[in-house]
Chain A
Amino acid sequence: MERVAARAAANGELTFDLGQRTVRDLNQFLHHDLPDSGVRHVEVLHPGGRHAIAAGVNHPVDIDVRGHGGYYLAGMNKFATVTVHGNVGWGVAENMMSGVVRVKGFASESAGASGHGGTLIIEGDASLRCGISMKGIDIVVGGSIGNYSAFMAQAGHLLVCGDAGHALGDSLYEAVIYVRGRIRSLGADARIEEMTDVDHAKVRELLDRAGFAGEPEEFKRVASARQLYHWNADANQEY
C-alpha cells in the first residue's frame, strides 16, 4: 500500500480499479494511508455494485466513483467529498458526520439514514425510507422519494424536488422537510406548515448547494405537530 501512495503523491491523484483490487484495499488506504500520502483525489473504477465503498473516510479528499455502488457507500463519511457517477444501493452516506456525498443516479433505500451532518445530494430518485432517523444531515433529492421517508427524523433538512411517497415524516422530531411535488400521505404527527422567510432562505440555500434549479415558493414545508412528544392517554392508541 505504501508503494501505491508514494507513487500517487507526486500529483495528488490516485486511481483504484476495483476490477483488480478489493474494497478492503481501497478502504484501508483511505483510512490509514491517505492522510500522509499527499493524495487529494481518488478515482474508483469498476465499482460493480460492491458494498461499503469509501465507507468510514475521516479526511478531506475528493473521491469519484465511476459506476454503480452497493450498500453503505460513503457510510460514516467525515470531511470527504464523494461523487458517484451512477446509482447506489441501500444506506448511502448512512450515519454521515460531515462532507458531501453526491449520487448522479438513483439511490436505493435508507439513503442518509441517521446522518448527523454534511450534505447528501441525490440527483435521481431515492427509494423508501430516505432520511430515516436523520440527526442533522441535509439531504437534497432531485427526483422523488419513496414511502416512509424521514421516519423519526430528528434534525436536519430533507428537500425533495419531486414527489414524496406514503407516510412522509412519520413520528417526526425536529427535522424539516420541503417537498415541491405531490405528497401521497403524511405520517403520524407530520403536518404541512406555512413557509416563512427562514424557510424560503433555507430552500434557496439547499437548492444552490445541490446545484438544482427551482424557486423556494414552489415548496411546501412539512414539520412535526409535536403531538407525540408527550404521552396522551386519551388518544386510545390511535394516531
Chain B
Amino acid sequence: MCGIVGLLVKKPELRPRLGEWMVPMLKEMAARGPESAGLAVFTAPLADAERKYSLHAPDWGYDWGAFEGEFIKRFGPEAQLGVLGNHAILTCDESASVVKPWVRHAFPELHVLAAGRAMDIYKDTGNPVDVADRYRFAGLEGSHLVGHTRMATESAVTPDRAHPFTAGEDFCLVHNGTISNPFMIRRKLEHRGIEFDTDNDTEAACRYLAWRMGEGDTLEAALAHGFEELDGFYTFLIGTGNKLALVRDAFACKPAVVAETDEYVAIASEFRSLAHLPGVDDAKLFEPMPEEVYSWSV
C-alpha cells in the first residue's frame, strides 16, 4: 500500500494556497504509507538558460556553506542556494550534464533529487505528518504538485527510495503498486546508457517513461508503451513542467479518485484525502478507468 496525492490549481491567484490545500491531503494518506513521504512542487519556470537542482544531504546539519563556496569557485558567483535542513535548492545557469557529474565527483555524499526549470523536490523517511511539517509543505506555492506516502515493498526505506522519482528535467512520478519486471526494464535501459540511482521498481518505471519521451513519444504515447512493457500493478501520477497525468494498469487494483472544480483538480488514493477541500461537495468526482490516460495542463 502507498498513498498518492496530486493538486493542480487552475487560477494563478490560487498558487499561494497550493501547499496549504495539499498538506491535509498528504496527512490523511499517512496511514497508507507511514514510513516515508515526498513531494514535487512546480513553480513558475526559470528563464530558458537557468536551472535549479534539488539536493539532498545525509544529515540535517550539513555544511552547505562549504558546498556553496566550492560551487561558486568552480562555476562563478551567480549561483544561489536555498537551504532547508538536509535539502537545498541550487539555482544557476549550468546544465544538468555539467552539474550532476560535478556534484557526484566533488560531493559524493549529496544526491541530486531533481533538475529542471520548475520542479522542486523534498523527500525523506519518517511519518508523512512529520515530513510535511519538517519541510514546511504548507507554505509551498506553485501551479501543481504531486505527493506520496510510502509503504515499501520492493526496496529499502531510505530517503532516496522515497517518491517522487525523477528522470531528465521537470519530470517526476509517484506510484502506488508494484512493478514486477523492474530489472528487465533496467537492463534494457542501462544498455542504452541510462543510469539508475537506486534499485527501486518505481525508478525503473520513471526512467522507462522518460526514455520513451526522449525517443519522441508524447507522455500519453509513453504511457501506452508502458501498458505493454511495465508488468505489475500501478496507479501512476506524473508531474511535468505544465501537466499532471494519471493512469492505472489494466487490473486497476490500486485506487485513485479525482475531484475537479473550476478552481482545482485534486487526485488522491482515497476520497477521505480530498474531503476537506473547498467546494469538494460540488466537485465532479470520478475514478480513473483502467488503461486510460488522464491529464490536466496548467
Q: Which A residues fall within an 8 A CB radius of B?
A: 48-51, 67-68, 70-71, 87, 89-90, 105-106, 108-109, 127-128, 146-147
Contact = CB atoms under 8 A, between A and B. Distances in A.
Contact of B270 (A89, A105, A127, A147): A89
Interface string B268-291: 001111111000010001110110
13 contacts: A48-B276, A49-B270, A49-B275, A50-B272, A68-B285, A70-B270, A90-B255, A106-B287, A108-B287, A109-B252, A128-B290, A146-B252, A146-B290
- Max chain A C-beta neighbours (<10 A), residue from B257, B271, B275, B290: B271
Interface residues of B, number: 17
Majority SS at the chain A contact face: loop
Contacts of A147: 252, 290
A90 B270 CA distance: 10
Contacts of B272: 48-51, 70
Contacts, number: 45
The 6 closest A-B pairs by CB, nearest first: A49-B272, A49-B271, A48-B275, A49-B275, A68-B271, A128-B252
Q: Is the interface of B mostly helix, strand, loop or mixed?
A: loop
Interface in B234-263: 252-253, 255, 257
Contacts of A71: 270
Nearest to B28: A49
A108 B273 CA distance: 15
B295 to A, nearest CB: 21
B116 to A, nearest CB: 34
Interface string B36-76: 00000000000000000000000000000000000000000
Task: Pick from B253, B281, B287 the residue with the most CB of A within 10 Å.
Answer: B287
A223 B253 CA distance: 25
B250 to A, nearest CB: 8
A50 B31 CA distance: 12
Interface string B91-109: 0000000000000000000
